[in-house]
Amino acid sequence: MRRGGGVVKKDTLLGIVMAIFSVGMLIQSKQLVNENKFDTIGPSGFPEGVSWILLGLSIVLILTSLLKRSVSSPKVTKINWNVIFSFVILFAYIILLPYLGFILATFIFLWILQVFLTRIRTLNSFLKITLISVIFSLVTFLLFEKVLQVFLPRFDLFL
Amino acid sequence: MEYLLEAFAQIFTLKVLGFMVLGSIWGIVASAIPGFTITMAVVLTLPFTFSMEPIVGIATMISVYVGGFSGGLISAALLGIPGTPSAICTTFDARPMAEKGEPGRALSIGVLASFFGGLVSIIVCILTAGPIAKFGLRFGPWEMFSLIFFALTLIASLGGKAIVKGLLAGAFGLLISTVGIDPVGGKLRFTMGLSQLAIGFAFLPILIGLFAVPQMMKSITKIRQSSGEDSEISNSFISGSINIPWIKTLKELSKHWVGIVRSGLIGCLVGALPAAGGSIATFLSYDQAKKFSKKPDEFGKGNIEGIIASEAGNSGVAGGSLIPTIALGIPGSAVTAIMLGALMLHGITPGPLLFKSQPVLVYGIYVSLIIGNIIMLLVQALGMKAFIKVCNMPGDKIVPVVLMLCVAGSYALNNRFFDVIVFSIFGVVGYLLSSAKVPLAPMVLGVILGPLAEANLRKAIMTDPNIMLFFTRPISLVLIIISILSLLISIYQLGKDLKKEQQITSKSV
């Protein structure tokens, strides 16, 4: 996967991942049984056909990416820790949501992500962040529950 | 006529108009913030419309959609940054005009041109959607399948150099759509033993994940990389007071009605084509205005014709892109695919039959477009000063709130936590794909059109196993020929670029 000691090209990696996915879908499609004799394509025909197309395109992508010697293909370079940390916060929020309930989980999520993103860290900015977190978690909850009749998760830690 | 009156009666209620005003404000605000797109505004509105009656939900979505096309001009004129990609050309003349001390004039020209351009396209939409739908009634499963093939290949091939990635994204979307019950035989497929997947992936969490998460992650990177001072945009236009001469501009625009109609029609035509959207329309319209102008040298220096061309052109897309969506049930872009999804969520299947089965609803869409456009004008006129301040909203406060709304919106669809997980998975997928420069619009189209494509393909073969019918039925043949031609042209272009690239590298070595 490494060429000339360089980093893996994103296109090559994408092609490999898509090829694996299409092969997986092909195998799964083959296992589907057609019980309707009038339906010649059956439940497996369409996903199978598209999987073959996806596999073909993945191979083309891998080959064109390997043929390109220039830097035009995007490369997998350094890890973007800002994005990873933000995803971690988002996932933690999603996991905690059913346990802490919408209001509390949302308040914590908004507060942490704002603190992470803000560059000006004064007492005033922390107060502002706290206020925004309280207002948005409450207003969204009330908007969904009272106006849109959508019931969001409630505090459920001890149940 | 009675349908039209009934539609007017349904829309002209305080409740619907109230939601439309809110929708319009949200559309303008979202597209005024640089980095946010109309697509995202529409996606985030969708969860709020579930509990509404169909007509209320659709009217709200349309007002967000119409409002979104006009919001991008505010930051284009005042900051020189297009709020949405479709406002790129607006920066060429609106910004210089603002710098010359006429920011109010630039804004009012943009808003009014947007209104009139939108109106032109809505009229075209009303006049043409019906006859196109009538024509669409002749379509059998062969033509429908070819039409979907046409839409998918065109949207993928428009990616230029990324044609393989575009097609790959489309195929990936089609495969995602096969999860769940098969649309003909009712057999369960690829559910991985999860009962929640029996009805397939709900497309809304997929859309939210694909469009919102990559955008937000990009914003997060930008915010973290900028210094604290940079995040606070300082602009004399924003901090100062701006006088907006609406009446004077209206008189001024009356002299340029030909340009408005031309740009509105260009926008409408471009919007009606699959894969072409606001940004192409605005460039084409701007270019044509320059060619027709008596003073082409003044373009880019604060010329009124330039602002008109750009804004009337991009707003013209609003009505145009809804033509194939309503008439044939085939969206041509990501944002209209979401609009189609919104209709489907309310149990409405757009397409030729809709005109027969639910004519009031079709007229309701037309009326919503007209009223949405008028509301956009009023909201812009009354709230312009507040919207100007929106451009100054700090990203570090917006991003967390938007992500939270994405989670709440995904949950709200079916009141089930599984959809939030789907949102987060597709958020990661969307981020990874977009960082590999894979266009996401073909994927969305694949997800939404997949079941329709499969059902029509299977119906066609079940009716007559002769596959040659796809090539002998005239409409189907024409659509397939155009699709293959567009693919071949793109592949030829790709090959040429690759050759050139190799020549450059071999020379440098």
* Per-residue pLDDT tens digits for B442-480: 888 888 889 889 999 999 999 988 889 999 999 999 989
The 10 Å Cβ neighbour count of residue B344 is 14
What is the tens place of the pLDDT at every residue in B378-397?
998 888 878 877 776 777 88
Looking at residue B424, its pLDDT comes to 95
CB contacts, 8 Å: A55 with chain B: none
What is the tens place of the pLDDT at every residue in A27-48?
999 988 877 777 888 889 999 9
**A137 CA: distance to closest CA in chain B (Å):** 9
**CA-nearest residue of chain A to B221?**
A82
- Positive or negative CA dihedral for A134, A135, A137, A138? positive
- Mean pLDDT across B235-243: 61
Looking at residue A157, its pLDDT comes to 55
Contact call for B408 and A144, based on CB within 8 A: yes
Interface of B with A in 323-362 (CB under 8 A): none
CB contacts, 8 Å: A93 with chain B: 404, 407
Contact call for A106 and B404, based on CB within 8 A: yes
Those residues whose C-beta lies under 8 Å from the C-beta of residue B233, and which sit 6 or more positions away, are B79, B391, B392
CA B275 from chain center: how many Å?
Answer: 10
**A110 CA: distance to closest CA in chain B (Å):** 6
Long-range contacts of residues B219-226, Cβ cutoff 8 Å, at least 24 apart: B219/B35, B219/B395, B219/B398, B219/B399, B220/A82, B220/A83, B220/A86, B220/A117, B220/B399, B221/A80, B221/A82, B221/A83, B222/B35, B222/B395, B223/A117, B223/A119, B223/B395, B223/B396, B223/B399, B224/A82, B224/A117, B225/A82, B226/A119
* Of residues A21, A40, A117, nearest to B220 (C-beta): A117
pLDDT band at B275; cut points 50, 70, 90: low
CA pair distance B285, B283, nearest whole angstrom: 5
Q: Provide, rounded to the nearest whole percent, the portion of chain B with pLDDT above 90.
A: 24
Those residues whose C-beta lies under 8 Å from the C-beta of residue B30, and which sit 6 or more positions away, are B36, B37, B38, B40, B41, B44, B64, B68, B71
What single-letter amino acid sits at A21? F
* Of residues A11, A42, A83, nearest to B220 (C-beta): A83
CA pair distance B421, A85, nearest whole angstrom: 18
Size of the A and B interface in Cβ pairs below 8 Å:
178
Any CB–CB contact under 8 A between B168 and chain A?
yes
Contact call for B458 and A151, based on CB within 8 A: no
Residue in this structure with the two tokens 């070819």, named with its chain if needed: B146
Better-scored residue on pLDDT, A119 or A105: A105
CB contacts, 8 Å: A91 with chain B: 424
pLDDT band at B160; cut points 50, 70, 90: low
Which of the listed ranges A20-24, A77-81, B407-411, B478-482 does the model predict with the highest average pLDDT? Answer: A20-24
Looking at residue B477, its pLDDT comes to 94
Please give the mean pLDDT across all residues of chain B.
Answer: 84
Which of the listed ranges A149-158, B43-52, B252-261 does the model predict with the highest average pLDDT? Answer: B252-261
Nearest residue to B334 via CA among B317, B351, B309, B353: B317
Lowest mean pLDDT among B14-18, B113-117, B145-149, B342-346: B342-346
ipTM for the complex shown: 0.88
Better-scored residue on pLDDT, B100 or A113: A113
For the entire predicted model, the pTM comes to 0.81
Looking at residue A5, its pLDDT comes to 39
pLDDT band at A57; cut points 50, 70, 90: very high
Please give the mean pLDDT across all residues of chain A.
Answer: 84
Looking at residue B233, its pLDDT comes to 44
Nearest residue to B64 via CA among B401, B364, B369, B395: B369
